[in-house]
Amino acid sequence: MKLLVASSWSQDRLEEAQKTFPEVQFTVAANQDDILREIVDAEAVFGAINREAFLAAKQLKWIQNTGAGVERLARISEIAESDVTVTNTRGSHAATIAEHGFGLLISLTRQLPSLLDAQREHNWTRPFSGPQVGLTGLTLGVVGMGNIGRAIAKRGHGFDMEVIGVDINEVPKPDFVAELSLLDGLDDLMRRSDVVAVAAPITPETAGMLGPEQLRLMKPTAYLIVVSRGGIIDEDTLMEMLNAGQLAGAGLDVTAIEPLPEDSPLWDTPNLLITPHCSGGSTQTAAAGKAIFYDNLRRYLAKEPLTNLVDLKRGF
């Protein structure tokens, strides 16, 4: 069986995979030309491919996406309508993304950027623009209660926050979540929350879900943290609110356009922290993702059902 690796692998990683699965021909494609040439007779792909590559494939049966988000594959109607099985690494990133989200939040509530600026200037001062904020007793509203949302909620509970959540599907309510509702509870969540954490995938149903009307329901003392995908919140409204002091702060690990253009006004928006879509990266994430892939490859070879199946028509 030929498996095309449409991702950057080190020689050590390739040799380990070959040793673990000697019956598999692993072929690493370094660029699009290589992908188009090698995918023709590949039975499986590790990584994301574009429409041109998919149409060039003649024997493709399985795509193992390297992350949880599959929006790029979902946009390709030919893949969504095909019989090709798509799996992802759902769950491998959850803890790390949740930790990053709280890193953004605590940086804002404790005003760490201004303290870091003072440290660089060797200045023992407290250059706070307002009171520092503790998390105990605050209400955390989580939008999207999948693996990432639950990981955020669990950590919020650990900070003695009251956790409420909404999800597009009926999902079980964890013990550490006080209230969980469908999307008809979104407006109430936006009004009540001191912190809103967006952990939903980007799908046709969630794109633009937090528009001007929803964002303007937030308290002026509230914080917004977005760690799932760009395109869910209205960034223009967010900038207007931050510039007008109508929101205490926001942290974005994702934006509607990535990479974020150098001339984007988001860069200069006050009380906004931006990180370059890196919340999922960690040694633990890499190990967990590899374990999911190896388990699925073993299952595929044994003709057993795969895990982490994706419904591209729904987008997750």
Domains and CATH numbers, the chain: 2-91+282-301 (3.40.50.720), 94-274 (3.40.50.720)
Flag whether pLDDT at 13 surpasses 90.
yes
Q: Beta strand 223-226 with 195-198: parallel, antiparallel or unpaired? A: parallel
Flag whether pLDDT at 54 surpasses 90.
yes
Distance (Å) of CA 265 to CA 8, 227, 236: 32, 19, 9
What's the rounded mean pLDDT across residues 108-118?
Answer: 98
Flag whether pLDDT at 30 surpasses 90.
no
Q: Which two tokens stand for residue 262?
A: 């150098």
Per-residue pLDDT tens digits for 300-314: 999 999 999 999 888
| pLDDT interval class at 73 (50, 70, 90) | very high
Per-residue pLDDT tens digits for 239-281: 999 999 999 999 999 999 999 999 999 999 999 999 999 999 9
**Cis status, amide bond into 261, omega within 30 of 0:** no
Work out the mean pLDDT of the chain and round it to a whole number: 96
| pLDDT interval class at 315 (50, 70, 90) | confident
pLDDT at 67: 86
pTM beyond 0.85: yes
Which string of DSSP letters, residue by residue, matches 234-267? -HHHHHHHHHTT-SSEEEES--SSSSPPTT-GGG
Instruction: Give catalytic residue positions.
Output: 229, 258, 277
pLDDT at 8: 87
